[in-house]
């Protein structure tokens, strides 16, 4: 379901370096996108803490579209559940 990031050129596992250790491809944009997704998930967690469940759901969905992670999936489930519960009140 969620695969770790890979080099888009040779499919080597992403190791957080700006150049792929296998083929030398520039991975700086991949790192930028992953960092953007991480910041969005951080904002989603903050929104959950503040009771803004719909905003959290939107933020985590955007993050997952950029870089899908298992923890992001769990965060989305939590946000979705809290949003549904808050609507029923």
Provide block-wise average pLDDT over 10 residues at a time, the chain (89 residues). Answer: 78 89 94 95 98 97 95 97 85
Domain count, the chain: 1
Q: How far apart are CA 69 and CA 3, in angstroms?
A: 8
Answer whether residue 1 is part of any domain: no
Q: CA 81, CA 69: separation in Å to the nearest integer?
A: 18
Residue 18 within any structural domain of the chain: no
56 assigned to some structural domain: yes
Report field, pTM of the whole predicted structure over 0.95: no
Q: CA gyration radius for the chain? A: 16
Is the separation of the CB atoms in 52 and 75 below 8 Å? Answer: no
Which range of residues forms the domain containing residue 76? 39-88
């Amino acid at each position: 379901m969620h695969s770790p990031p890979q080099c888009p050129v040779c499919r080597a596992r992403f190791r957080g370096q700006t150049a792929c250790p296998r083929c030398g491809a520039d991975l700086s944009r991949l790192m930028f996108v992953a960092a953007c997704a991480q910041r969005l998930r951080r904002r989603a967690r903050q929104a959950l803490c503040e009771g803004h469940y719909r905003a959290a759901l939107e933020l985590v969905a955007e993050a997952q579209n950029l870089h899908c992670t298992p923890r992001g999936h769990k965060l989305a489930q939590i946000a979705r559940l809290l949003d549904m519960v808050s609507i029923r009140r």
